[in-house]
Amino acid sequence: MLGEAGLTSAAGKEAVRQAMLNHPYTESTLVVTKDGIVAMAVPDSYAGTVGGSDISSHPETGRAVRERVPLVSEVFPLAEGFAGVAQSYPVFGKDGEYLGFVSIAYRPDALIGRAVAPP
């Protein structure tokens, strides 16, 4: 969707919102350009904090841009204020051009806790 509609399109933003609804453990989602600029951030309350930010110097951003494959980060401090994990997926345009990536952030315990019952 983002590859066809563009990284900042209304249709793309709605697709990101729907994906977050389908994955309730997700705290936030970023859409990042191939230059490491945050093109979109969801939810809106988070967008004001990071929207338009240059995150190209972050190791996880550099890795996503270089490798252009789905990735899962190590645990690291997130702008949301907690130690979390980012999972990224590359975005390519209709012509196959690399546009950037989508990255979801979540608390590891929120994801794992759904599958692991307490003792």
Show the CA angle centred on residue 112, arms to residues 77 and 36, nearest 5°: 35
Tell me the pTM.
Answer: 0.83
Separation between Cα atoms, residue 92 and residue 73, nearest integer Å: 21
User: Do 2 and 9 meet the contact criterion of CB atoms below 8 Å apart?
Assistant: yes
What is the rounded average pLDDT of the residues 18-47? Answer: 85
The band of 77, judged by pLDDT with boundaries at 50, 70 and 90, is confident
Going by DSSP bridges, is the β-strand pair 83-92/71-72 parallel, antiparallel, or unpaired? antiparallel
pLDDT recorded at residue 82: 84
For tokens 């690291």, the residue is 76
Peptide bond into 43 cis (omega under 30): yes
The band of 62, judged by pLDDT with boundaries at 50, 70 and 90, is very high
Q: What is the pLDDT of residues 105-118, one digit of tens each?
A: 988 887 777 677 66
